[in-house]
Amino acid sequence: MRSTPSRRATATGALIAAAALLAVGVQTGSATATPSSATAANAATAGADHGALAKQLSPSQRAELIRQADAGKAATAKDLGLGSQEKLVVKDVIQDNDGTTHTRYERTFAGLPVLGGDLVVQETKAGTTQSVTKASKVSSAQLKTVDLKADVAPAKAEKQALGLAKADGSKKTEADRAPRKVVWMAQGKPQLAYETVVGGFQEDGTPNQLHVITDATTGAKLYEWQGIENGVGNTEYSGQVTLGTAPSYTLTDTGRGNHKTYNLNHGSSGTGTLFTNSTDVWGNGSPSNAETAAADAHYGAAETWDYYKNVHGRTGIRGDGVGAYSRVHYGNSYVNAFWDDSCFCMTYGDGSGNANPLTALDVAAHEMTHGVTSATADLVYSGESGGLNEATSDIFATAVEFYSNTASDPGDYLIGEKIDINGDGTPLRYQDKPSRDGMSKDSWYSGIGNVDVHYSSGPANHFFYLLSEGSGAKVINGVSYNSPTSDGLPVTGIGRDKAALIWFKALTTKFTSTTNYASARTGTLAAAGELYGTTSAEYKSVADAWAGINVGARPGGGTDPGGKVFENTTGVAIPDHGSAVTSSVNVTGVTGNAPSALKVDVDITHTYRGDLVVDLVGPSGTTYRLKNSSAGDPADDVRGTYTVNASSETANGTWKLKVQDVYSGDTGRINSFRLTF
């Protein structure tokens, strides 16, 4: 059995800025874009292939597509080669303007949920399957071998989960969901397991939804992740805004899925009381007035709804026209805000001393985007997929902030710039150079999945900034930025609107629950190709931006200004479960030994990258391990830059890239191999 070490997930951490509002509410009958937002929506799709853009589906149109997919799911399962015990469950359907349909399925085996078995089927208007993107490349034949008899009692799995939650600092820990049998397929060979969900509260008062996966044969922990996705902040004023309310003067947005805003009045459960008033004026701009935070939250929800509908054609978080709801004044001095799928709601604390509600436009956009992610790719909130989950919320928080164009809080690439959590005026995160916060990472490296998801999000945030604005120094809306690249080469930006459009299309039609950085690159390139063409400047910039954060190579390579480059671009086939193959470069004209930080650029195509062991072999015959095999890495391809301490080697001589496929079932090819001295 192939297995990998599990990763502990944490859900607490810094998030984004918040803003209190002096708000005048008026009744709105529909979610109509303002002139500035309509312009932004048009700009976002300018230059894209209209046919490849998502069609704006009404809730009834979406429901009909889901009905059709549900009616044909048995035939689809047969076409995909699934076994008789495997069933598909329709989760989401997106249709492009040209009729291309992207249907997202979850899977069951012998009636048990298959975690990591999700997939997306892309079909033409005529019903021809164009592509299938799977969270796991495990074959149906392997599913047939899963032993459905558990050797471990459910009580043991529950005890393990409770112990893990307590070790994480949880309070009032209890089993929120008794252990249920599942087939765990997210890390390689499928196996019978238990999933236990632990409730209670996390250390900082956030509700707890810790999911723990326990091997039903051995009792070992296989994986864990947090179901509550949250962050940290304070407030500032955003001025007077228009709110969607009901004629009876309640905070019910009748034009946006009947989104409601409730007052928890410092409670920590239930919905509390719906905000009601004798007039349509809400709050006074001061946090001492309970309505001010409510106006903040209500406005943030409205702007986020409008952005997704007017720019991406998605009506509501789930795309079904149903509004989520907001709860304000959660707990006492709770310095956090969070999204919870189980209630389909946003919840805001009041900050330190109950004086700084975390109710802001960008907080709402960040947290509600967790809901969009859950309804689509459902990126597991742990490891690399967890970092991409967090980055997705940061990316669209930025997009919504620019889209809204609120005068007192103009768009920027600073996450949490108004919070001043450290008391020194600094934001929580910087998208142009994430490491400026002292914790986030600028670029991908092999251990990024072991970092807290709020900081492993750094490379994806950096990718989005590079793709939007390009590298180097610049000033945007009065804010200075200076974005570097990991390979020292420039990136040309394509504009924030195009960058967000590409990320959204990849999220909703290419990403799955297990998507990591390598497969995110694959997905965004596919999305850029569909929107702008594979020979377009946009496509090249996507590849360059990924190379700029150490994920994949640049098209056509490039000369590193820091040293001499030696490259072999002759392809070498990698046999399935066979002997190692090599690609060689002959280094000449370099004085002395190789550097202590020798850059090794690798471009390998393979349909299951976890099968591969990759080494650099120096002229002396010494082997330097670049990548181990990993069953928990089912994505395609190995593209990236590795750094090796080769200072004991004489630089001149023959260097080899050695690659071996150590498992059966997939093949690949070395495309290129480059050394920079």
Catalytic residue among 454, 462, 538, 606: 454
Alpha carbons 20 and 356: distance in angstroms, whole number: 8
Beta bridge partners of 101: 95, 123
Phi, psi of 346 (to 5 degrees): -105, 140
Find, among 215, 228, 227, 221, the residue nearest to 163 by Cα. Answer: 221
What residue type is 647 in one-letter code?
S
What is the spatial distance between Cα 390 and Cα 388, in angstroms, rounded to a whole number?
A: 5
Beta bridge partners of 212: 196, 224
Beta bridge partners of 237: 20
Instruction: Determine which helix (DSSP H) or strand (DSSP E) holds 395, and give its type and residue range.
Output: helix 383-404
Question: Quick one: which of 63, 138, 151, 143 has its CA closest to 109?
Answer: 143
What is the rounded distance in angstroms from the CA atom of residue 148 to the CA atom of residue 169?
A: 34
In this structure, the strands spanning 119-123 and 112-115 are: unpaired
**DSSP assignments along 486-555, one per residue:** TTS-------HHHHHHHHHHHHHHT--TT--HHHHHHHHHHHHHHHH-TTSHHHHHHHHHHHTTTBS--T
Question: In 3D, which of 365, 275, 355, 233 has the Cα closest to residue 312?
Answer: 365
Query: Rounded CA gap, 238 and 418, in Å?
Result: 11
- C-alpha 18/C-alpha 22 separation (Å) is 14
Is residue 301 a contact partner of residue 368, using CB atoms and an 8 Å limit? yes
- Which one of the listed residues 367, 417, 530, 538 is annotated catalytic? 367
- Tokens representing residue 10 in the block: 């944490």
Question: Residue for token digits 């702008």?
Answer: 532
**Which region, left, alpha or beta, applies to residue 614 given φ > 0 means left and ψ of -120 to 50 means alpha?**
beta
* Cα distance between the two ends of the chain: 40
**Non-local CB neighbours of 68 within 8 Å, separated by 6+ positions:** none
Active site residue 303: no
Asked whether the beta carbons of 251 and 242 are under 8 A apart, the reply is no
Length of the chain: 677
- At residue 61, the 3 state secondary structure works out as helix
Instruction: Verify whether residue 266 is a known catalytic residue.
Output: no
Give the closest residue to 186 by CA, choosing from 133, 134, 121, 122. Answer: 134
Residues with catalytic roles: 367, 454
